Amino acid sequence: MKRYDTRADKLIELYLKSPILVDSFVSIIFFAVSRYKPLFIIKNIDKVNQLNIVSTLIGTCVSLAGFILAALTIIVTFKANIDSKRIETRCSSDNNEQLKVNNNFQSALHLLFSSQRYYNGIVEVFKGALKEFVLVFVVLYLSWVNSDSIKAGTFYGLTQVAVLAVALTITRSLGILFLILKAEDTKRVE
């Protein structure tokens, strides 16, 4: 059983394990509360401007999905590079060939990506972000295409939920990315 230092650590762990579920829950709560008591005082936006906002959000989701995919590709490539450097040379002792494994990590980043648990966790966060961006993209696109049959209030609430989901996904992804960059600056203490 894991031991957490604070409740915040426990909440962050839960959030990183099932981000789409948590983001959906927060978005639904936000939508329900804002339907009965507006959280932001905004003048009613007409349908044409709402469609422009949705169109912009669709483009934003596609661009951010591309960014996350590029970051994920770099992380996987970096991991493969670290794995190839770990196996250094073949040496023979008593006529038995053995692989000499180099466990001399040059930085915390090497150590981070050498740990399968942390590497898988990082990849899962980015894969979850990709799934969430695609989900928001599909929902927004379908609502944009069927905008004539959706009421203005519902359309406005959907836009708010989409903005919140995109903001939460960006925050989570950048938080992990900044932690990785911070680890790169940390040299191994020997």
Give the model's confidence band at 189: pLDDT under 50 very low, under 70 low, under 90 confident, else very high.
Answer: very low
How many Cα atoms occupy the beta-carbon half-sphere of 6 within 13 Å?
3
Distance CA 78, CA 23 (A): 29
Q: Is residue 6 part of a domain?
A: no
Q: Is residue 85 part of a domain?
A: yes
- Interval 66-90 mean pLDDT: 73
pLDDT in tens, 166-187: 998 898 888 887 877 776 666 5
Q: Is the pTM of this model over 0.85?
A: no
Q: Is residue 20 part of a domain?
A: no
Q: Is residue 99 part of a domain?
A: yes
pLDDT at 190: 44
Q: Is residue 151 part of a domain?
A: yes
State how many domains the chain has.
1
pLDDT at 108: 58
- Interval 106-113 mean pLDDT: 61
Structural domain span for residue 108: 51-185
pLDDT at 138: 93
Q: Is residue 150 part of a domain?
A: yes
pLDDT at 47: 78
Q: Is residue 33 part of a domain?
A: no
Q: Is residue 5 part of a domain?
A: no
pLDDT in tens, 126-175: 888 898 899 999 999 999 899 888 887 778 788 888 888 899 889 888 88
